[in-house]
Structure 1
Amino acid sequence: MEKAHFNFVLLLLLVIPCVLLISKFYVDTFTFKQPSAQSSFIANRFSLNSITAIKHSKHLMVSAFIDHRINKAIRVISIIKRDSLQPLYCIYCNDDHTCRTAEAEVQIHSDHFGFPYAASDVLCHGAHTQDAAFVSISTSRNISAIYSEDLLPIKNTVIRESFKFNFSVCISNLFGSYNNVLQFVQTMEMYKLLGVQHVVIYNTSCGPDLEKLLQHYKKEGILEIVPWPIDHFLNPSKGWNFVEHGGDLHYYGQLVTLNECIYRNMYQSKYVLLNDIDEIIMPYKHANLPLLMEDLQQEHRDVGVFPIENHIFPKTQFEETGRFNRSKWRGIPGINIMVHIYREPDRKNVFNPRKMIINPRSVTQTSVHSTLQQYGNVYYVPFDVSHIVHVRIPLQGHLTKEQLHNDKRVWDFEHKLVPNVDKALQSSNLLKIPD
């Protein structure tokens, strides 16, 4: 009797590991049957939206990329509700419909400014991730969940060492009734003169005139518009401070879009500029951005992040001659940056929020004014080499014009900038062509 009992226990010890191993195989690896039928199924499950809810959770996923720097893991740019984190799983499949699951690693970014939802990365580590074509984040480890999940196409599958663009600009958010047409067209045309070939803007909503201008630049080929309907999913904040502004997510998801834009341009652009819609990263010792970065990169070969000082040009102060008070532009809504040439002095005891020029392949995570994780070093670009021209409401409104600095750098581009602005406004049907 004791011998039989012993044999039974021994059998269990041998069988259970085998069952677990087989079970794990069927959970972790699965090949679809009837590939032709499944191809149609997969095509119908792709999420074509820029924001997709993770089912049975309070979280959202945005886009997916192979990160070749961390053993070809799949990185899913996501929005995670910080107090509702639960076990999440990656279900990823290749083109022949072999699917695998892996427990997801969730990295909530350290900068969330106290908001309930935060920019996050969901990392999928596992076998053959480099061959995956699409992925979903699921609350279930059961691989059959693939039949009910929305799927994200996986980008950046191939490492590229030559790039379509030298310089891309990431403009993180456009929302509300923003209709600052004149400043936007002047900024776009200035960037083109400085050597930018590509601008990405995340658009929730804007005014009707600016929409016409966006469509013009999209048709021209310089502007990539990413729909950003974050207000359909969350109550986004219109400010950066949770205590002051409330809401679910910092500034319409600015941190999410900046990170998404870095990975979107990882193998498209040599450099990426991270700044706002009313800012111009301006070189002061070089004619354009390519010459600026050529010198900076030669002097600092191990650097991939170049923060640039922000400087305010108050929209309440005007230059006296009126040479750029052009009658053509009077009916165009927005700020004329060419008449605001007075710059506030730097305050050494006050934090100057910089923006950045980055090598996107050097950055893992970013915040608004600094990177959170990067490879290589950071070099703070001196003020006299480059700083931001930021025309907006003053921060030092008590200063008189005599206490401000005269900074006419934008006038150096007058002869090309002015006619190019006119041409863009005419092409957008915002400026009448004279008879």
Structure 2
Amino acid sequence: MCWFCFLVQCSLSDPSACLPTILFVDHLLKFTQDICNFWFYLLQAIMDLRHLDKFKITISPIKGTRHLQVSAYLDERKGKGTVRIITMFYRPGPHELQCIFNCNKGVPFTTPAQVEQHSDNFGFPFVTADVFCETSYRCKATHVGLQTQGSVQNNDSLMPIQNLQQRNNGFERDLTVCISNLFGDYNNVLQFIQTMEVYKILGIGRVVIYNTSSSHMLEKVLHYYVNEDMLEVIPWPISHFLNPSRGWRFEEHGGDIHYFGQLTTLNDCIYRNMYKSRFLLLNDIDEIIAPYQHTNLNLMMDELEKKQPDTCVFLVENHTYPFNVFEDSGRFNLSLWRQVPGINIMKHIHREPDRKHIVNPIKIIVNPRKVEQTSVHSVLKRFGNQYRVPFDLCRIVHVRVPLQGHLSKEELIVDTKLWEYHKELVPRVNKVSFMHPAPP
């Protein structure tokens, strides 16, 4: 039956008589819409569950202490059978720990642990620390954990030893970006999408992100890039265990540990990708390491590796592009992008000039197989040289709060580097933005 035809005919002949039918059809349509919404959200939930196997528990307490263990990696650079456990260590102690290995056939094996705290702690009571465990070649352990001496063994606290099968398999990719933290219900969606698409253009094979808290909309975007195999999301529920600081100095910001455990995640990312990626870029989500003389970062690193064969750490200058200064043409003020929350990096092409008596901050590109410990702006322990990449070869485009807010627009330097990618970038960002519109 044609409901529309019936209602038109009924309305013309006797409107009051067809009112019950109109109400019935209205309720039927609303019910149908509710059913459709139910199936939509059910399917979305099923899609979300597909990704649960990609997420692993990354923080667990060490029984009898305030220390937290994060991950374990075979690191034979320190000796045959040496396992490095990355921890967030409570500096007052206890410092006497035991390693527990789960050997073949489930036989336990214990050995004394050696604790090495990283030199950068910025005054916080918790610091990133490496705990070294020596295993027997007879053990053939796949899992390890830490405990205080005399504690009862608990197999639930054991972690898989990673890197066991990766050393001779070749690299999965040339370049990987490590993003230390997303927190505070992070919702800078547009800049996130733009940055991810620029990474693709520049030859980045994978982005690894440690996620404490992000908005519902950004979660959908994260799932999109996980499905593309461009993104690996590591859950980082540090707020369940510590009071993480939102700043980098204890005296100023307080809290238990520096900047949501940023130093721990950066070190974990190095070991997690040690044999998967030729180089790692350690920077933040609002920073893009951009080559200025090469079409992509792969070509730039090929050249640097040839010219600096003994170098394992490449230092790249960070330059500020104030987010409150806009270019005048409105060329990239696109209507679709305006519907997505976040900063449009293509509208910010004015760079702050260098200051004579202040050295620009840096971020790092590393060969992870030759790095032992890292901080945010420097490597703490390495097995090779470091090299400061010339400003005209490569620099970081960092769209952020201005550092020299007193400068006028005319005193800033116009730098349209990101505009060079617009032919590829605009349709890519449009596609993702169209699939993830902001809620009305």
TM-score range, shorter chain: 0.7 to 0.9
Tell me, yes or no, if the aligned pair for 1:425 and 1:431 is still in contact at 8 Å.
no
Counterpart amino acid of 2:94?
Answer: L
- Size of the alignment, in residue pairs? 384
Q: Which consecutive unaligned segments of at least 5 residues does structure 1 have?
A: 1-46
**Is structure 2 residue 114 aligned with structure 1 residue 105?**
yes
**Is structure 2 residue 144 aligned with structure 1 residue 135?**
yes
Tell me, yes or no, if the aligned pair for 2:337 and 2:433 is still in contact at 8 Å.
no
Q: What is the correspondence of 1:144-293 to structure 2 with a 5 Å cutoff?
A: 145-147=152-154, 150-158=157-165, 159-160=167-168, 162-293=170-301
Among 58, 63, 69, the alignment partner of 1:50 is: 58
Which TM-score applies when normalising by structure 1?
A: 0.85
Counterpart amino acid of 1:146?
Answer: Q
Tell me, yes or no, if the aligned pair for 2:104 and 2:139 is still in contact at 8 Å.
no
Percent sequence identity over matched residues?
52
- For residues 94 and 118 of structure 2, the distance between their equivalents in structure 1, rounded to whole angstroms, comes to 14
1:94, distance to aligned residue in structure 2 (A): 2.6
Tell me, yes or no, if the aligned pair for 1:55 and 1:149 is still in contact at 8 Å.
no
CA spacing shift, 1:215–1:48, aligned 2, 3 Å: closer
1:96, distance to aligned residue in structure 2 (A): 2.7
1:426, distance to aligned residue in structure 2 (A): 2.4
Among 317, 322, 325, the alignment partner of 1:314 is: 322
1:68, distance to aligned residue in structure 2 (A): 2.0
- For residues 248 and 359 of structure 2, the distance between their equivalents in structure 1, rounded to whole angstroms, comes to 16
1:89-125 deviation digits (Å, cap 9, x = unpaired): 1011233323321111111110010000001111102
CA spacing shift, 1:149–1:214, aligned 2, 3 Å: closer
- For residues 318 and 428 of structure 1, the distance between their equivalents in structure 2, rounded to whole angstroms, comes to 25
- For residues 218 and 126 of structure 2, the distance between their equivalents in structure 1, rounded to whole angstroms, comes to 30
What SS is found at the alignment partner of 1:83?
coil
What SS is found at the alignment partner of 1:84?
coil
Tell me, yes or no, if the aligned pair for 2:292 and 2:392 is still in contact at 8 Å.
yes
Tell me, yes or no, if the aligned pair for 2:349 and 2:416 is still in contact at 8 Å.
yes
**Is structure 2 residue 83 aligned with structure 1 residue 74?**
yes
Tell me, yes or no, if the aligned pair for 1:307 and 1:379 is still in contact at 8 Å.
yes
CA spacing shift, 1:403–1:429, aligned 2, 3 Å: closer
- For residues 395 and 209 of structure 1, the distance between their equivalents in structure 2, rounded to whole angstroms, comes to 30
What SS is found at the alignment partner of 2:142?
strand
1:355 equivalent in structure 2: 363
- For residues 301 and 291 of structure 1, the distance between their equivalents in structure 2, rounded to whole angstroms, comes to 15
Tell me, yes or no, if the aligned pair for 2:56 and 2:234 is still in contact at 8 Å.
no
**Is structure 2 residue 72 aligned with structure 1 residue 60?**
no
- For residues 161 and 300 of structure 1, the distance between their equivalents in structure 2, rounded to whole angstroms, comes to 25
**Is structure 2 residue 121 aligned with structure 1 residue 119?**
no
Tell me, yes or no, if the aligned pair for 2:349 and 2:414 is still in contact at 8 Å.
yes
Tell me, yes or no, if the aligned pair for 2:336 and 2:434 is still in contact at 8 Å.
no
- For residues 358 and 163 of structure 2, the distance between their equivalents in structure 1, rounded to whole angstroms, comes to 40
CA spacing shift, 1:117–1:269, aligned 2, 3 Å: same
1:273, distance to aligned residue in structure 2 (A): 0.6
- For residues 308 and 103 of structure 2, the distance between their equivalents in structure 1, rounded to whole angstroms, comes to 40
Q: What is the correspondence of 1:253-402 to structure 2 with a 5 Å cutoff?
A: 253-402=261-410
- For residues 431 and 164 of structure 1, the distance between their equivalents in structure 2, rounded to whole angstroms, comes to 37
1:48, distance to aligned residue in structure 2 (A): 5.0
Tell me, yes or no, if the aligned pair for 1:273 and 1:356 is still in contact at 8 Å.
yes
Q: Which consecutive unaligned segments of at least 5 residues does structure 2 have?
A: 1-54
CA RMSD of aligned residues (A): 1.7
1:7 equivalent in structure 2: none
CA spacing shift, 1:361–1:254, aligned 2, 3 Å: same
- For residues 153 and 204 of structure 2, the distance between their equivalents in structure 1, rounded to whole angstroms, comes to 41
- For residues 425 and 344 of structure 1, the distance between their equivalents in structure 2, rounded to whole angstroms, comes to 30
Tell me, yes or no, if the aligned pair for 1:422 and 1:431 is still in contact at 8 Å.
no
1:84, distance to aligned residue in structure 2 (A): 2.2
Tell me, yes or no, if the aligned pair for 1:130 and 1:157 is still in contact at 8 Å.
no
- For residues 94 and 281 of structure 2, the distance between their equivalents in structure 1, rounded to whole angstroms, comes to 32
1:86, distance to aligned residue in structure 2 (A): 2.8
1:87 equivalent in structure 2: 96
- For residues 48 and 286 of structure 1, the distance between their equivalents in structure 2, rounded to whole angstroms, comes to 37
